[in-house]
Amino acid sequence: MASGEAVISRLPDQAESRKASLQGATSVYDLLTISMARRGQYGMLSECLERAMKFSFNEFHLWHQLGLSLMAAGKGVGAVSVFKECARMRPEDPSLPLLAAKVCIGQLHWFEEAEALSRSVASMGEEAGELLPRAYLSLGLCCSLQASDATLRVDRDEFNKKALQALSKAHSLDPLDAQIAMYLALQLALVRQVSAAIESLQAALSLLGDDLHSLHLLTLLLSAQKHHRHALDTLGLALSQHPGNFNLLFTKVKLEEAVFGPTAALRTCEEMLQQWLSLFQSSINVVNECISGSLYLPIIRCVPTMVTVQKAPTVSISHPFTGSLSPSSVAVSRLEAALSEVSDLSSGRRQGPTYIWTTLECIWLQAGELFMADGRLKEAQFCIAEAIALSPNSYSVLLQRGRLAELRGQLDDAKGLYDEALAIHPTGERTLGLLLVKTERTHLGEKVLRDAVQVHSTSHEAWSGLGEALQSRGSSQASDCFLTALELEASCPIRPFTIIPREL
């Protein structure tokens, strides 16, 4: 009704009618926003507000409401465009470019665009007021994320340097902001300045002692110092305050494997599967007809010391929630989605948000990895089969299949699977390189491993593998590679620091 009876004429004699019409429409849309936002119907709200744009030329309030609704509905591209239009209307408001930068970082992974928006606010100086530290925080996160995605070491080092400078500036402007202190600690951890990272993190925890990401980062930093039992204690505190967080539970699995062995860690996998069921089974419908006939068999039947769970559906795992096992790009996710589209269309087993199934896939793959570490390849095959049923073309699944084939001595099959994984994402370069060296294809293995240390310069496995390749052909550079590997291993966390989400 508000948009249907709006006065859209721009003639001067219609100014009063147009103003009254706009005020009435704005009141209606404000009430509509309150009602629909309470019910989480942001998509429908954004569609309603879009219809109001025909009579809202240069009307900031409705444009701002539209941008916020698009942002909440996950329509990132539209939200960024609208916030830029809002910034044109009010260039003195620093919050508008930062809102656009938030969407660019969190939803679109447009890091260069987010960096430009953040710099525009930072260039305002004191005019940005209390948002100036947030502008430098946003700038630091953009540079940090670009460093994680960089393929050349020189670019990565430059981005890391800029990120540290921006985050240090943000912290100096607002030393009482716990989030800024935590992200400064995270950036220091990413460049392996572990002691400095702990010092900064202590400041963050003194300001906000129960923060999820700060406690998780402290756990990883303690594991990097090889204080695994202290790390487990810290993780227990984090889980007591944030029960059911799968990202924390995956870290718990890794720590338990390091301290107690794979059998103990498998019990946590059982707990994760039970928790997944209790959290998500009511919100999804799992169709009985599935590709994998063993879909409902519990993984824990493979472990006789554990309680059997009935009817545990399967799901996929690569990036639990906002964290990720590796800093993969949006392009990889889109490629995997495209590769799996046919099987998704042919099977109605999966309903509900994607992250539900991604989390389950991760649980299966983690369980498979533990079974392989325990030498129980039959059980590992079962877990991998469940992950395949969920996401057959995931690079994580392909890597796991390759490792299993390698353990079984099927080296040609393993190489083929690693090649397929590398075609999607370069995460498995070091694994393929080591296999090539193992099969006496030393020169090719050396080439692959040299590429791996360029992409993953802090990976001690890649440097150690390169040292083995050089040693096999009598090169004097092997010792330097082994020394680098030892130095990096001394500060290597139990899981990558990149699993801590970087977002505004």
Is pLDDT of 4 > 80?
no
User: Token pair of 76, please?
Assistant: 């990132």
185 contacts: CB under 8 Å, gap ≥ 6: 197, 198, 199, 200, 201, 204, 214, 217, 221
Give the Cα separation of 76 and 101 in Å (integer): 10
Is pLDDT of 347 > 60?
no
Calculate mean pLDDT across residues 335-355: 52
Q: Count of CB atoms within 10 A of residue 477's CB?
A: 11
Tokens 């494997």 -> residue: 257
Output b/e per residue, 259-295; b: 16+ Cβ within 10 A.
eeebbebbbbbbebbebbbeebeeeeebeeebebeeb
**What are the contacts of 303-311 at 24+ separation with CB within 8 A?**
303/263, 303/266, 303/267, 303/270, 303/379, 305/263, 306/266, 306/267, 306/270, 307/270, 309/270, 309/273, 309/274, 309/277
Q: Do 138 and 118 touch, CB atoms closer than 8 A?
A: yes
Tokens 């590796």 -> residue: 326
Is pLDDT of 324 > 60?
no
User: Residues 200, 205, 206, 210: what is their CA dihedral angle, to the nearest 10 degrees?
Assistant: 170
Q: Which residue has the higher pLDDT, 443 or 181?
A: 181
Q: What is the pLDDT of residue 311?
A: 34
pLDDT in tens, 294-322: 333 344 444 433 333 333 333 333 344 33
Give the Cα separation of 51 and 48 in Å (integer): 5
Q: What is the pLDDT of residue 187?
A: 97
Q: Do 89 and 58 touch, CB atoms closer than 8 A?
A: yes
Q: Count of CB atoms within 10 A of residue 185's CB?
A: 31
Is pLDDT of 348 > 50?
no
Class of residue 16 by CB neighbours under 10 A (exposed 0-12, middle 13-18, buried 19+): exposed
CA-closest candidate to residue 434, choices 397, 479, 467, 481? 467
Percent of the residues in the chain that have a pLDDT greater than 70, as a whole number: 81
Give the Cα separation of 182 and 202 in Å (integer): 9
Give the Cα separation of 441 and 463 in Å (integer): 18
Q: What is the pLDDT of residue 148?
A: 92
pLDDT in tens, 125-160: 999 999 999 999 999 999 999 999 988 889 999 999
- Where does the pLDDT of residue 241 fall: very low under 50, low under 70, confident under 90, or very high at 90 and above? very high
CA-closest candidate to residue 67, choices 39, 34, 91, 45? 45
Maximum pairwise Cα distance, the chain: 90
176 contacts: CB under 8 Å, gap ≥ 6: 207
In this prediction the pTM is 0.84
- Where does the pLDDT of residue 345 fall: very low under 50, low under 70, confident under 90, or very high at 90 and above? very low
Mean pLDDT (the chain, rounded): 83
Provide the CA 362 distance to its chain's centre, in angstroms: 13
User: What are the C-alpha distances in Å from 210 to residues 137, 231, 241, 474?
Assistant: 21, 16, 7, 53
Helical ranges in 73-177 per DSSP H: 76-89, 95-103, 111-122, 132-149, 153-173
Q: What is the pLDDT of residue 300?
A: 42
Domains and CATH numbers, the chain: 175-243 (1.25.40), 253-424 (1.25.40.10), 429-504 (1.25.40.10)
Is pLDDT of 503 > 60?
yes
Q: Is 316 helix (H, G, I), strand (E, B) or coil?
A: strand
Is pLDDT of 228 > 50?
yes
Best mean pLDDT range from 293-302, 328-337, 361-370: 361-370
pLDDT in tens, 367-405: 999 999 999 999 999 999 999 999 888 889 988 999 999
- Where does the pLDDT of residue 323 fall: very low under 50, low under 70, confident under 90, or very high at 90 and above? very low
Q: What is the pLDDT of residue 343?
A: 40
User: What are the C-alpha distances in Å from 163 to residues 109, 110, 170, 254?
Assistant: 16, 16, 11, 29
User: What are the C-alpha distances in Å from 175 to residues 186, 200, 271?
Assistant: 16, 10, 39
Best mean pLDDT range from 247-251, 423-427, 444-448: 247-251
User: Token pair of 502, please?
Assistant: 């970087």
Is pLDDT of 340 > 80?
no
The helix (H) or strand (E) run that includes residue 260 is helix 246-260
Percent of the residues in the chain that have a pLDDT greater than 90, as a whole number: 56
Residue 18 has φ and ψ, to the nearest 5°, of -65, -40
Q: What is the pLDDT of residue 322?
A: 39
Q: Do 280 and 356 touch, CB atoms closer than 8 A?
A: yes
CA-closest candidate to residue 235, choices 495, 503, 504, 502? 495
Best mean pLDDT range from 13-17, 103-107, 470-474: 103-107
Q: What is the pLDDT of residue 456?
A: 81
Residue 316 has φ and ψ, to the nearest 5°, of -105, 155
pLDDT in tens, 102-122: 999 999 999 999 999 999 999
- Where does the pLDDT of residue 421 fall: very low under 50, low under 70, confident under 90, or very high at 90 and above? confident
Q: What is the pLDDT of residue 7?
A: 58
Output b/e per residue, 224-247; b: 16+ Cβ within 10 A.
beeebeebbebbeebbeebeebbb
Residue 269 has φ and ψ, to the nearest 5°, of -60, -40
Residue 194 has φ and ψ, to the nearest 5°, of -65, -45
Q: What is the pLDDT of residue 349?
A: 52
Give the length of the chain: 504
Q: Count of CB atoms within 10 A of residue 423's CB?
A: 11
Q: What is the pLDDT of residue 17?
A: 66
CA-closest candidate to residue 406, choices 416, 396, 421, 397? 416
User: What are the C-alpha distances in Å from 370 to residues 267, 302, 379?
Assistant: 11, 12, 10
